[in-house]
Structure 1
Amino acid sequence: MGAAGMAGCGSDGGSTDTPGSGSTPTPTPSGDGDDGGTDSSTATAEEPVTRQINYAVANSPDVFNWNPWTPQDNTAGDLWMSDLHGLRNVHTTNTSYSGTTVPTPHKPDQEEIEIMTWISGFEVEPPYDWYDHHDDRARYWNGDPFDADAREAHNHVNFFQEGNKFTEGATFNQRAEDQWTHHQWQNKGSVPEQDPDPTARVVLRSNAGPVDGNPPIHPDFTTPYREQFRDAANGDEVSSITDELVSDRISLDRMAESGGTDEMLAGSGPYMLKSMDDVGSERVILRLNEDHPNAENTNVERLALYWAEGDRRQTLINEGVLDVDSGAVTDSGATTRETLPDHVQEFTRWLRATGGDVWQLNWQNEHLQNLWVRRALIEAIDWNAVSANGWGEDASQVTQHDTFLLDAQSESTFSEDFLDQLHLYSRASNKENANEYMRRAGYSKQGGQWVDPNGNQASIDLSSRSGSPANVQGAQTIRANLANWGFGVNFTTMGWNSWSTSINPSEGLNYDSTMFWHGDPYVFQYYHDRGAWWDLGLVGGSPTGDPYNADPEDEVDTQGKPIVQQVPDEPGAFEAPDEAGKSPDLDNASEVNLVETVNAIRQPGNSEEAQQELYRTCAKYYNFYVPHFAFHQYLMGSYGDVRDFDWPDPSARAFDYERSFGIEDVLVLGGIAQASTDTDFEPPQ
């Protein structure tokens, strides 16, 4: 019986799988043919009622491109076509790897299964080195080894593509020690103009054994480019190779086993693209590779990836077309019990220690660079409503501390006394505070609208991913709150490609504010200079050098935030001059170079008290300046078809693992999902 319980308790980085666009199809049943869905008329005690599981990705066959170096990211879906890197526990953030056993009492003939992942383990040798060990059973779809040599070739192309061929002091710090061992290291000062970068064990540990990242392309693609880059004699030749690389699309026909180009340049997961006949305008069907180690874990023979985002994706959810998806089923928000068919139910729910959202601000906007304006906007918005309207009252909770960390990290890092002293911005709209802060910024109201000291109407742009109804509805609440208060907001929804490009520092940061995910396993990953568009750090990148890493000699980072700021000596200090601007002169404050501070956190040899003082400095900076606003964290959930599939109990360990964000790909690619042999299920409560 397919029953589910109610709610219970570039290189290696940067690949993201989020749901696509298009018109809404008419759902079709999925029987023994290639349609997908229920086939109860032919089911027996031994035969599953369906042989296909359906999911949605934010892409389309016309633009899909596994090549991660193109100007726009069209890779979405690649993670469903590749091996799981590893497994991260959603409760503890601990990682595990190939050979992990999972109890599966929901399977009639398997009490437990063993999940194969691409990485099988790692070693760390401070202060420079770490080693990843790969499972020697890993294969590309064409049978070639998916090994350390392939990873090195892929990452070496990435090194050259990022412009490091003739960069003084730049070295490619990795190599395949043997076929299945990949060795990486921090800069060791091995060439002139390169300073050694000894690094704390905890930082090296976070680099080792990644459970997420861009799956390496087949060496047939990467090796020729690597050799061309190696042979390039000057910058013009490098630019020519780069131009060729970024335009070299790896489309689905260059991956398929038959019916395409026969190159098979990518793909390694348990479900493979057997034929171009399985590629359609609505979906692509991947078929179980019986030679894959995880194939013996499952009776699901096909994985259908629907091309869908936004309204189309939500329609697929509401009509029961998708068999598994990420999210909590709540009384409000994007996905509610009333919008779903009875057989689509929540499997499990948990508080996500590393998952939330932040209102990301770009200080290049003339209003957002003003301290009192940022404070006023935060006070004017009802963050309880933003969280509830977007994610549902039962699916998220507002943060209780303003440190830039999520609450679990705040409470495990800082003393209760320190947290109690910090300023806490209002979670419900406080117009009295907001009005006072705007007046202190030098703004006034004319005709019900706020204007700046020069009489110009105050407004900002706000963007959101169209593929995330929660983000859209949360952003619409921000717009409504600010508009009703008299502050202009130009709200725009964007598809994945346009949105990710708009916040990419390499593309110029074409946004004022946006809704962005927030959360990391380690404190130093929050308090970090991180210009990468896919991960927001306390400090951005360098506008004069590497857009992904800040320079302590720069005046500002890529978001226009000053590198050197006066930080109050006492936690919770709040007073600042009127019209404070970017860099106010403060009483009882110390001048802090933020890049030097976050870099010091990552250095080896810090005493516990020294490390705490660095953390406290970062927290006091964020608490005073609110460069962005981390406003809530998730009560995560997963839901899907309990009629045609059997799932574990809500508190089962099988629900504890994810690759990057959401447990769904582990459920499917790990073989935890089980097609049912009947269509009985308990009605929703």
Structure 2
Amino acid sequence: MANSTRSADGDSNESPLTRRRWLALCSGAAMAGLAGCGANPDDPNATLSSESTGSEGGSNSNAVTTELHMRAPVSWTPSDSNVNPFSTQGDIEYWMEYMWWESPSYPNAVGEPIYWLAKDISVQGGGCEVLITLDENHTWWDGSPVTAKDYHTTQLITDYKEYGGPDETDDGWEVVDKYKIKNVLSGPANPAVKKVDYYTPVAKHDYYKSWLEKFEDASGEQAIKGVAKELNDHTVTLKDLTDKGLGCGLWKPAQLSPTNAVHEKYQDHPRADWTNLETFNWHLLSEKQKAIQALNTGKLDFGDKLTDQARTNDQTEVFSRFGMSGVPKLTMNWNNEHLARRPVRRAIAYLIDSEEVVKVIKSAHGIKYNSRKTVFGMSSSLISDWVSDGFVDKLIDYGSTSKPEKAASVLKKAGYSKNGGVWVGPNGSKVSGLTYLTPPWNIYKSVGKYFSSKLDEFGFKNNLVVPSGSGFYKRWDETYDFDLCNWFTTGSHPAYAYSTVEVSGLGNYDEIAVAMEKTEGCTVNRTEPELDQPTSEKLQHPIRPKFPKQIGQKSLNSGAGQTLYPLKWHKIMLQTQDTQEVKQLTEKLAWYVNWQVPHVGFYDEVKVYWGNTNKFDFPSLKADDHPHAEETKAEHRTTAMEFLMKGHISAKTK
């Protein structure tokens, strides 16, 4: 699932986890459409469009205002950005691009599909074909229609750039007619997963067809890589985006300055009449104190940061709050002799005080998250939809508060003793000098400082390391130079929460597995892949360990366990048409994580939106808040505030 940066207060000066960086970390992801923003660097106040906004898009004759002001909480220099959707050289966060482009679909916080460019997505042919029907009312900013050919070109260029060409991928793309495109799959797809998998913003065929021709004319792997590099280096400015009609979103950039990015409504967008707003001003306020000042002086109408300040402001109030799929967690590297022992990991699980972590974040950042009861590898809001009643209560209860006495008991049973305030293992090795790595995101730094000291007090001596953004990614993704690391688990479906292709899921296991043979016909692949080695390369997780059959059993009796098959089970969850089978596998994987403790979640992320409810009508989770709520209610539970700019906000009328 697409996610925003982890710096939830948005005030870090470090580079955020952009969608481009996410792609670099998740090499198997086939996502394109990456966007930035550019303008004429010689004119920082450039007017990018001379078109009149008019008032055709929705009745605004009695509106109290036609403008909305919001904060862009990122360190962003529009004139230095690149809006080439196939370039990795922009500085935007992934959610920014969804204002300027449309994707066929997008998952909301609980995995439900949001349809934007698509009118319908249906899984057919026994699960091996997906028919995407586009909404015929979408047009590019030059007035030409957005068609299946545009999306087809986007996908083919992505195949060349990411994989070396369509022949090197398992899937195929066919244009059925002007507004229908078929995705032919190598195996069946679980509809609940696949319908939200088409979140790549579409690129314009007329502009990028020359690049597709270059790829098709390239002879050999090196030639294709050369075209890919040339495309990656190609610059598209924000002026190009507007002048050449390369965007198709509801909000069209109009003016830029170093402190404000003004957007005007694209009047021919199919949702233009959903809102009476004509303009929104995107104030570039990366510094927290300046943003607080702007909020206190009434210059901000809407946002998802500075929640405490918004609650105490006379002009704003919280209008929506809901649980998300993100679970920031402590990842443990089993290359360390102590962390490779389950009792040590369980001791850490008992030590984590989720309720206190939530209080620390609330005090330091003004954001109220939800505490976690125990370890199971998914968000609390998500697991309730995928396990049977009472399942969580059967798991090992590590608790939402710290239990140092249980942690000590677990260690002593494993042969550990305490000497001079430091725990010592059965072979005399001290639990000291642990490298505790955290990314330079404000909330994660606060959690790191808090829990590092708690580990020290308990007798697990550690050194907290907070490198720069690039320094963190090198240690996290290349050298593995850490013992503990603050990272996150995310996933709007169990198949993503327990993914085998990334450490943000169950673990990165695919890299050491022999490719699974394809099954004949459109049938679920239930084979057990061969392994090149018994453990993962990165964190030394065992791939096929034994774990108890009985949920809640703390020790494994000889010969009484069951075997974990993460790659096989993950493939089944991605392919099966049987919801009940997904639930059964979810329980197995949740129990394994609870028993093995490869990582421990600190808290459940929560999304909060606030706004000036005296001047504006905002959406909530209710289904009757506006005329289009029933067909788009999934959009009311989204994870980036720009998604709510797709016509759901209007000014009050006099």
The TM-score bracket by the shorter chain reads 0.7 to 0.9
Q: What amino acid is the match of 1:216? A: V
1:152 positional shift? 1.6
1:454 positional shift? 3.9
1:394 positional shift? 8.9
1:522 positional shift? 3.0
CA distance in 1, matches of 2:568, 2:494: 16
Please state if 1:563 is matched with 2:540.
Answer: no
1:274-313 equivalences under 5 Å are 274=254, 278-309=255-286, 311=288
Q: Secondary structure at the match of 1:427?
A: coil
Please state if 1:595 is matched with 2:567.
Answer: yes
Structure 1 counterpart of 2:150: 150
For residue 399 of structure 1, the aligned residue among 360, 369, 372 is: 372
Structure 2 counterpart of 1:668: 645
1:53 positional shift? 2.7
Preserved contact between residue 387 and residue 474 of structure 1 (Cα < 8 Å): no
1:282 positional shift? 1.9
For residue 385 of structure 1, the aligned residue among 327, 338, 356 is: 356
Preserved contact between residue 106 and residue 199 of structure 2 (Cα < 8 Å): no
Q: Secondary structure at the match of 1:268?
A: coil
Please state if 1:198 is matched with 2:175.
Answer: no
Indicate the larger mover: 586-595 or 235-244: 586-595
Structure 1 counterpart of 2:36: none
For residue 77 of structure 2, the aligned residue among 60, 70, 77 is: 60
Structure 1 counterpart of 2:493: 522
CA distance in 1, matches of 2:185, 2:104: 22
Q: What amino acid is the match of 1:178? A: D
CA distance in 2, matches of 1:545, 1:313: 51
CA distance in 2, matches of 1:316, 1:147: 45
CA distance in 2, matches of 1:255, 1:546: 44
1:384 positional shift? 0.8
CA distance in 2, matches of 1:54, 1:618: 41
Q: What amino acid is the match of 1:629? A: V
1:301-340 equivalences under 5 Å are 301-309=278-286, 311=288, 315=292, 318-319=295-296, 320-326=298-304, 335-337=307-309, 340=312
Preserved contact between residue 386 and residue 475 of structure 1 (Cα < 8 Å): no
1:641 positional shift? 2.2
* Percent of paired sites with the same residue: 18
For residue 199 of structure 2, the aligned residue among 213, 224, 238 is: 213
Structure 1 counterpart of 2:333: 363
1:123-134 equivalences under 5 Å are 123-125=122-124, 126-134=126-134
Structure 2 counterpart of 1:540: 508
CA distance in 2, matches of 1:659, 1:86: 15
Preserved contact between residue 436 and residue 483 of structure 2 (Cα < 8 Å): yes
Structure 2 residues without counterparts, runs of 5 or longer: 15-49, 51-59, 516-527
Q: What amino acid is the match of 2:313? A: P
Q: Secondary structure at the match of 2:545?
A: strand
Indicate the larger mover: 124-133 or 230-239: 230-239
Q: Secondary structure at the match of 1:255?
A: helix
TM-score (norm 1): 0.73
Preserved contact between residue 140 and residue 146 of structure 2 (Cα < 8 Å): yes
1:308 positional shift? 4.3
Q: What amino acid is the match of 1:145? A: P
Please state if 1:463 is matched with 2:462.
Answer: no
Structure 2 counterpart of 1:224: 210
Q: Secondary structure at the match of 1:397?
A: coil
Preserved contact between residue 509 and residue 543 of structure 2 (Cα < 8 Å): no
1:281 positional shift? 1.7
Shift in CA distance, 436/60, structure 1 to aligned 2, threshold 3 Å = farther
For residue 458 of structure 2, the aligned residue among 479, 485, 494 is: 485
CA distance in 2, matches of 1:657, 1:606: 23
Structure 2 counterpart of 1:575: 555
1:423 positional shift? 0.8
Q: What amino acid is the match of 1:336? A: D
Q: What is the Cα-based RMSD across aligned positions, in Å? A: 4.0
Shift in CA distance, 20/74, structure 1 to aligned 2, threshold 3 Å = farther
1:621 positional shift? 1.3
Listed one character per residue, the Cα deviations across residues 479-524 of structure 1 (whole Å, up to 9, x for unaligned) are: 34224334324142766x887x56985x676766555555544333
CA distance in 2, matches of 1:206, 1:182: 18
Structure 1 counterpart of 2:228: 242
Shift in CA distance, 470/605, structure 1 to aligned 2, threshold 3 Å = closer
Preserved contact between residue 152 and residue 173 of structure 2 (Cα < 8 Å): yes
1:129 positional shift? 0.9
Preserved contact between residue 21 and residue 60 of structure 1 (Cα < 8 Å): no
Listed one character per residue, the Cα deviations across residues 573-608 of structure 1 (whole Å, up to 9, x for unaligned) are: 2226xxxxxxxx965223333212222334447694
Shift in CA distance, 235/284, structure 1 to aligned 2, threshold 3 Å = same
Shift in CA distance, 463/66, structure 1 to aligned 2, threshold 3 Å = farther
Q: Secondary structure at the match of 2:307?
A: coil
Q: What amino acid is the match of 1:270? A: L
For residue 616 of structure 2, the aligned residue among 642, 645, 653 is: 645
Q: Secondary structure at the match of 2:551?
A: coil
1:445 positional shift? 5.1
Please state if 1:434 is matched with 2:382.
Answer: no
Structure 1 residues without counterparts, runs of 5 or longer: 1-12, 24-33, 35-43, 98-116, 188-196, 258-262, 328-333, 577-584, 679-685
TM-score (norm 2): 0.76
Between Structure 1 and Structure 2, the one with more helix by share is: 2
1:410-429 equivalences under 5 Å are 410-416=383-389, 418-429=391-402
1:86-235 equivalences under 5 Å are 86=105, 94-95=112-113, 97=115, 117-125=116-124, 126-165=126-165, 170-187=169-186, 197-199=187-189, 203-208=190-195, 210=197, 213-235=199-221
Shift in CA distance, 182/504, structure 1 to aligned 2, threshold 3 Å = farther
CA distance in 2, matches of 1:479, 1:310: 27
Listed one character per residue, the Cα deviations across residues 137-195 of structure 1 (whole Å, up to 9, x for unaligned) are: 21222333322211121121221222343976x344223222211211321xxxxxxxx
Shift in CA distance, 493/440, structure 1 to aligned 2, threshold 3 Å = farther
Q: Secondary structure at the match of 1:658?
A: helix
Q: What amino acid is the match of 2:642? A: D
Q: What amino acid is the match of 1:399? A: R
Structure 2 counterpart of 1:40: none
Q: What amino acid is the match of 2:191? A: L
Shift in CA distance, 375/82, structure 1 to aligned 2, threshold 3 Å = same
Q: Secondary structure at the match of 1:433?
A: helix
1:631 positional shift? 4.3
Preserved contact between residue 101 and residue 249 of structure 2 (Cα < 8 Å): yes
Shift in CA distance, 127/338, structure 1 to aligned 2, threshold 3 Å = closer
Preserved contact between residue 130 and residue 183 of structure 1 (Cα < 8 Å): yes
Q: Secondary structure at the match of 2:78?
A: coil
CA distance in 2, matches of 1:539, 1:66: 33
Structure 1 counterpart of 2:314: 342
CA distance in 2, matches of 1:446, 1:177: 72
Preserved contact between residue 500 and residue 509 of structure 2 (Cα < 8 Å): yes
Shift in CA distance, 237/509, structure 1 to aligned 2, threshold 3 Å = farther
